[in-house]
Structure 1
């Protein structure tokens, strides 16, 4: 399996993606941004389609759209009363734009499939290098703001009392989330990106009781999902995204069962 360049590229890229998604996913769940993550994945679809339309790489198109839109969407959805309506409207708009750009670019249906569900075969060494650079940038910034971000995410009242700049933390986090969505979509596709950004972290909160412990468990769940998913996709010639989604869902239900048994004992 590792004699093929595309599989080595896929494993290297997916490892960094799992680490980034496991780390940032804990804060996505803590800040109740799962629905926003789904919206950013649809914005990423439009961005990738736009990239093909204008002749740039899908990843650069995703970065362009998600970075620009993340703060705007996040600020629009701060009030719970209008959150769902705002995000639904923006989701619908960008799905329509994605379809439009695909039609205008005259690409085949396989291009749309690759964007929506990922394409392991299509990952080039240049893509891997760009993804690794972006992943390292996200992780470095997360380490720098970790203390304040943890405080603001898990104890916003206490963070406010300690004069943590919540607005600045939100903007930085939204930009990091946009980068993570764009990077991870290369493996699982824009349609299923929220799986890696939410399910490992959602599972982790049942197995760990500290933020660092949750991050470690979330990263482990993500790595298990992408590594095993890539292997099963290779040996069965079935979509990798299907296996990753199934594995992460199974881990989540396992976590729910573990929590149920613990509460009963």
Structure 2
């Protein structure tokens, strides 16, 4: 399952949902969550078969982006509000939105903890998992919904344009230094928290939005992990006995 591709179309509809909520004067977080859930449902309906999924993702991405831009063009309020949806403004998150963020985060963590073991099994070998009675399709839909919620939570803070840097780059960095099914998600969370917290602290002291800081920190962590992984691979390969020496 390609998180980057599936996540991209959720960003577009999450952005569209947040844009229409801004236009209507309702809760932006709720609109973003609604858009992400609609994207997950649309992928489940339109892309039931693997060969149909790519077409469905392309259609949803284009439609979501177009709707988001349309709703922002119709919005006649402060320009900073529009800019915040694209690049993120952590200082614009008020108390009601914080309540939505905390509540949805709790739901994501609880559901993820409940399905973690069968999800890991299905991700490692879906054919064997399905043969053993694991509901692979149901887990896939549940994972897509959780991913949509995570993206919706991130849009308000880091913006719709660069949210995938926070969703995928920490995981890619962790994968460069470990293959452990336990340590990899732990490191991913650590890298993601370091990126977002560092970006928030830097953004609070400047006029630059949070997104550039988050993506810079996230990419720096990835670069360090990639170099570390490459160094370890070369060193381990150099120490492996050759057939002649063995």
TM-score > 0.5, shorter chain as reference: yes
Tell me what 1:66 maps to. 36
Taking structure 1 as reference, are residues 161 and 172 closer, same or farther at Cα in structure 2, changes over 3 Å only? Answer: same
Matched, 1:171 2:138: no
Q: Which sections of structure 2, spanning at least 5 residues, go unmatched?
A: 236-246
Count of residues in Structure 1 that have an aligned counterpart in Structure 2: 235
**More deviation, 134-143/59-68:** 59-68
Deviation at 1:75, TM superposition (A): 5.1
Instruction: Write the distance in 2 (CA, Å) between the matches of 1:239 and 1:100.
Output: 23
| C-alpha separation in 2, matches of 1:110 and 1:73 | 32
Q: 1:253 to 1:79 in 2, by over 3 A?
A: farther
Q: What's the counterpart of residue 82 of structure 2? A: 112
- 1:221 equivalenced with 2:221 (yes/no): no
CA-CA distance at 1:124 after TM superposition: 1.0
Q: Which residue of 2 aligns with 1:206?
A: 176
**Greater CA drift, 171-180 or 78-87:** 78-87
Distance 2:170 2:29 in 1: 24
Tell me, what secondary structure is at the counterpart of 2:90? coil
1:141-189 superposed Cα distances (whole Å, 9 cap, x missing partner) = 0001111111111221221121111111111111111111111112111
Following superposition, the deviation at residue 74 of structure 1 comes to 4.7
Larger relative contact order (C-alpha < 8 A, sep ≥ 6)? 1
With normalisation by structure 2, the TM-score equals 0.89
Residue 157 of structure 2, aligned match among 187, 193, 201: 187
Unaligned runs of 5+ in 1: 1-30
Contact 1:36–1:74 at 8 Å: present in 2 too? Answer: no
Distance 1:74 1:36, change over 3 A: farther
**Cα root mean square deviation, aligned:** 1.7
1:107 deviation in Å? Answer: 2.9
TM-score after normalising by structure 1: 0.83
